A and B are shown apart, each in its own frame.
Chain A
Amino acid sequence: MESLKRIGKSPTAVIGLILLILVIGMALSAPYLFPRDPLSLAGRPLQWPFANSRFWLGTDTTGRDIAAQIFHGARVSLLIGLVATALAITIGIVVGAVAGYYGGVVDDVLMRVTEAFQTLPNFLLLLVLVAVFGTDIKTVTIAIGLVSWPASARLTRAEFLSLRSREFVQACRTLGMRDIQIIFREILPNALPPVIVYASVIMAVAILLESSLAFLSLSDPNVPSWGNLIGTGRSVLRTQWYVSAIPGGAILLTVLAVSLVGQGLNDALNPRLKSR
């Protein structure tokens, strides 16, 4: 409860929450405000924003409604962000927990694998995965999750290393609890706060990764993704720059919202930083 109060006091966290609620609102209202397929032809191409009251954000190069794409794009971005983050965090927690709890050879092997993932630039790995498994939206989401887990694994491992020899863990062992029970029911809840905070960073990066892929037209072309729209607008950048500018602003606000909320969470859950 006290943490919640502290979130309420920090202005950045409040701004972040408002922005985030706004984006979530856009995502939820999209099917009601824009019931038509956002990728279908809506009107004359390349109408400037506010020029036609039917398309208040204008239309893109092929005459699709930009506002509809922005609203539906919020769904895509949030969904990809959430699913990829959940996947990355899950892998990270399992790998980090097992490595930190058992130590020794298991730790060595798992950390080598983590290192291998960290040595390779994650966007390059993402390119390879997309090249191999295709650009379907599900594949892209899973691929983003697969390249984003190493940092959370390291974080979980560090927490486990410091927690595994505490008294309460020894007590659990004396009680004869199984390892799985100790790891997931006893230690994990204590190790979770920093990992949860880090999840906001992963989500912000995941949204940026998807938009970069979509911009390079290596993501699913059949989904109204903000990155796709920016890529489309690139061909008319010199004259109709708004086609690229608008979705970029949407990405910026969403990522900003996610990282502000994450920072607010961090300040609230980490009392040592209170004075800063």
Chain B
Amino acid sequence: MRILLLALRRAASSLPTLLILLIGLFLLLQLAPGDTVDALVAQIGGGDPKMIEELRRFYGLDVSVAVQLGRYVWRLLQLDLGFSAIYGKPVSAVILERLPATLLLMGSSLSFAFAAGMALGVFSARRVNKWPDTIISTLGLVFYATPSFWFGLMGIVIFAVHLGWLPAGGLEEIGAGYTGLRRILDIAWHLVLPTLTLALIFLATYLRIMRASMLEVLTLDFVRTARAKGLSPGRVVSRHVLRNALLPMVTLIGLQAGTMLGGSVVVESVFALPGLGRLAYEAVVQRDLNTLLGIVFVSALLVIAVNFIVDILYARLDPRIVT
């Protein structure tokens, strides 16, 4: 219970930061050349000045920046993200439509990176400085240096174009009309390549941290005691070392939640996934500043939520953390 309260307090303390962030971004976006109406008019191929003026009034762009900011913050406090002129519906509706794909992608990538990074890290640490360790560490370095979008493209060339094993893009087979389990399998099928692509860099980091953390914990006194008790090496690792070595890994999840969201912008563009990241890209290209701000807001909330979960996980893993 105390843990929950603590985590809640920490999450709440990040809300003022969030507000500062959004005000800063709102002011920053005022510097952008052209507003939503300009973009809209350009899209429909010009319009007469009177209509443009009317549009400005409709979108609340005819008043001073200070008033706009005031209105914006007020709406934000009511969790109203405004109206997207490009999509013709509320920003919150646009974002909610796109959120599931991104959450799915992030969740599966994170799980894969965490599990594989942990397994490889443990494997590597138990054979430290022997050839399996060298190979795994080198692979980790190469993965870390690979641009994710390029890995994705090459994955498409090999697995979709040449071998034909996996689909080249999209979230599901459109028009196939699958339902139930068949649809879930189809979506999972489409997410294999994007998940691997997004997970690659994180896998490399997790593997490195897990290896270092295992090596550190293995030198501690309680491990020697466990060995002296006559426990088998496998049991020492699974019962005594693993739990302690996992702490830095869990910290890393919180630290990298934002990076992962940023990475999904690129990965979703490569695989044409209808997610939040691609929406951000489209919003930049179409100058849909309301939507862009909304995405920033939701992303920051997501990062805060992930850190909240990490706090709780942390306390569960290490009972010493209570205050």
Which residues of A does B touch, CB under 8 Å?
Answer: 12, 112-113, 115-116, 118-134, 204, 208, 211-212, 215-216, 218, 227, 230, 234, 237-238, 241, 244-245, 248, 251-253, 255-256, 259-260, 263, 276
Tell me if B147 and A121 are in contact (CB < 8 A).
no
Tell me if B287 and A131 are in contact (CB < 8 A).
yes
Separation in Å of the B205 CB from the closest CB of chain A? Answer: 10
Interface of B is mostly: helix
Say yes or no for B42: interface residue by CB 8 A criterion.
Answer: no
Cβ 8 A contact of B145, one of A122, A134, A204: A204
Complex-state Cα separation, A123 to B212, whole angstroms = 28
Cβ 8 A contact of B280, one of A124, A237, A248, A263: A124
Tell me if A216 and B32 are in contact (CB < 8 A).
no
Complex-state Cα separation, A244 to B153, whole angstroms = 8
Separation in Å of the A272 CB from the closest CB of chain B? Answer: 11
Separation in Å of the B10 CB from the closest CB of chain A? Answer: 11
Tell me if B292 and A131 are in contact (CB < 8 A).
yes
Interface of A is mostly: helix
Closest to B201 in A: A208
Say yes or no for B144: interface residue by CB 8 A criterion.
Answer: yes
List 13 interface pairs A-B (beta carbons < 8 Å), by A numbering.
A113-B20, A115-B14, A119-B18, A120-B21, A120-B300, A122-B259, A122-B262, A124-B265, A124-B295, A133-B31, A204-B144, A227-B147, A238-B161
Say yes or no for B142: interface residue by CB 8 A criterion.
Answer: yes
Chain A contacts for B20, CB-based, 8 A: 112-113, 116
Known contacts A128-B25, A251-B150: A120-B32 contact under CB 8 Å = no
Cβ 8 A contact of A127, one of B280, B287, B304: B280
Tell me if A119 and B284 are in contact (CB < 8 A).
no
Chain A contacts for B299, CB-based, 8 A: 120-121, 124
Say yes or no for B281: interface residue by CB 8 A criterion.
Answer: yes
Say yes or no for B8: interface residue by CB 8 A criterion.
Answer: no
Complex-state Cα separation, A173 to B212, whole angstroms = 39
Chain A contacts for B269, CB-based, 8 A: 216
Known contacts A230-B149, A241-B157, A255-B145: A124-B24 contact under CB 8 Å = no
- Provide the B118-153 mask, 1 if CB < 8 A to any CB of A, else 0: 000000000010000000000001101111111001
Cβ 8 A contact of B17, one of A116, A215, A259: A116
Closest to B20 in A: A116
Cβ 8 A contact of A119, one of B17, B157, B212, B260: B17
Say yes or no for B156: interface residue by CB 8 A criterion.
Answer: yes
Tell me if A128 and B28 are in contact (CB < 8 A).
yes
